[in-house]
Structure 1
Amino acid sequence: MAPPWRLTTNLVKRPAQSYVRRMGKLIYSMFTSLDGYAADADGSSDWGGALDPVLHDFVSDQSRSVGTYLYGRRMYETMSFWETALDTPDPPDFVRHYAEVWQAADKVVYSTTLDAPTTRRTTVERTFDPVAVRAEVDALHHDVTIDGPTLAAQALRAGIVDEVQPYVAPVSVGGGLRFWPDGVRLDLDLVEQRAFGNGTVWSRYAVRRG
């Protein structure tokens, strides 16, 4: 049986009346310090994207093509904040925009210890199978992001990631949980880049194949 996060294929109409399916991409994207850590030695990443509404709106816009998020347990528990972010009175627009995008997407949590999800549109898988994940991404019409460096390391080592999109914050934390896995070489092509007023720089890299 197909996993619950598989959706029907999307067809994009072209002027010549032909139909072309938009292939999904597997994207690794998250905030990182300038010295390459997704979290500091205390496990904190509060420095990532420090309350810049323009940056937050950009993250929301980039997330609109994402239909499925893949998480490990720790990242899922962090991101589950967005399930109830709209329950507070008069949330800022940038909070509302991202919460709406996040709540509309499917979530898959890879964990051997999480009994049940606490958010809607969420399933729990016990093992991460790179071959199965790649096959599912290829069958989808939307993008899939893999969030959290520990889970992403498995996908990067397996060679199934299509793009890496780091948001590099202007801070050096000196140690912690690395954004890039050790022992993995990636040849990347810079596709686009944008800098923000708070010093954060977003880059989109395509992973070279072969």
Structure 2
Amino acid sequence: MEALMGKMIYGLLTSLDGYIEAPEGVDSRWSGPDEELHLYFNEMQRNLALDIYGRRMYEVMRVWDTYDRDPSIKAFERKFAQLWQQTPKVVVSTTLQEAGPNARLVGGDVEAAARALKAQTDGDISVCGAELAASFGRWGLIDEYQLFVYPSVVGGGKPYFAHGAPLNLKPLGTERLPNDVVLLRYAPA
């Protein structure tokens, strides 16, 4: 019998100068996907076995818990909300007291918990949050880095690669996506 082993992927939209968030905070004017790109992300979400979030990113994404109830949203947004709700989630936090639907909290020995999740999961695991991904990378858990590079320069903010241990990466490929976004894929060298 083949052992389970999840593939951990850290992927986010980033500006051309490497930021996932503008200096003022989240700013969708430079990174908001149109329908065609959103459909691409919908397919990615459909194929995930698990999402692992840091607290801040989870709090941003919680909008999808109820967004599908808004009658004014577009069909592709409603579908993403439904897919997001269906995907099991783990939230790494020492400050949250509870997590939303289909989510559970992990605190304490995060490295041990992450290793166990990877070993127990069959399929792709999305790691969401720059600081969380930096820790997972230091522990050798990230299998692939996906930079969805948006053709815009924001001049500062929160970087895709959080400060920490240096990484040596090898390219896995590139893909041109809608909205003039280029997907750059890397694995640890």
Q: Which residue of 2 aligns with 1:123?
A: 104
Q: Which residue of 1 aligns with 2:25?
A: 43
Check conservation: 1:67, 1:144, Cα contact below 8 A.
Answer: yes
- 1:26-65 mapped onto 2 (5 Å cutoff): 26-47=8-29, 49-65=31-47
- 1:9-20 mapped onto 2 (5 Å cutoff): none
Match of 1:55, SS state, is helix
Q: Are 1:193 and 2:180 an aligned pair? A: no
Shift of 1:146: 1.0
Query: In 2 relative to 1, CA 192–97 (structure 1 residues): closer, same or farther, beyond 3 Å?
Result: farther
Shift of 1:90: 5.5
Match of 1:203, SS state, is strand
Check conservation: 2:12, 2:148, Cα contact below 8 A.
Answer: yes
Check conservation: 1:49, 1:55, Cα contact below 8 A.
Answer: no
Equivalents in 1 of 2:108, 2:158: separation in Å? 21
Match of 2:152, SS state, is coil
Q: Quote the RMSD (CA, aligned, Å).
A: 2.0
| Counterpart amino acid of residue 66 in structure 2 | T
Q: Which residue of 2 aligns with 1:15?
A: none
Q: Which residue of 1 aligns with 2:144?
A: 163
Q: Which residue of 1 aligns with 2:50?
A: 68
| Counterpart amino acid of residue 113 in structure 1 | T
Q: Are 1:148 and 2:129 an aligned pair? A: yes
Shift of 1:43: 1.5
Cα shift readout 1:47-86 (whole Å, capped 9, x = no counterpart): 4542411111111112222121111221111101111121
Q: Are 1:102 and 2:55 an aligned pair? A: no
**Max radius of gyration: which structure?**
1
| Counterpart amino acid of residue 49 in structure 2 | G
Structure 1, gaps ≥5 residues long: 1-18
TM-score, normalisation: structure 2: 0.89
TM-score, normalisation: structure 1: 0.81
Match of 1:205, SS state, is strand
Equivalents in 1 of 2:63, 2:164: separation in Å? 33
Check conservation: 2:106, 2:113, Cα contact below 8 A.
Answer: no
Match of 1:152, SS state, is helix
Equivalents in 1 of 2:76, 2:102: separation in Å? 22
Equivalents in 1 of 2:97, 2:187: separation in Å? 36
Structure 2, gaps ≥5 residues long: none
Task: Identify which of 139, 156, 160 aligns with 2:120.
Answer: 139
Identity of aligned residues (%): 35
Check conservation: 1:168, 1:202, Cα contact below 8 A.
Answer: yes
Query: In 2 relative to 1, CA 76–128 (structure 1 residues): closer, same or farther, beyond 3 Å?
Result: farther
Higher helix share: 2
Equivalents in 2 of 1:192, 1:85: separation in Å? 34
| Counterpart amino acid of residue 168 in structure 2 | D
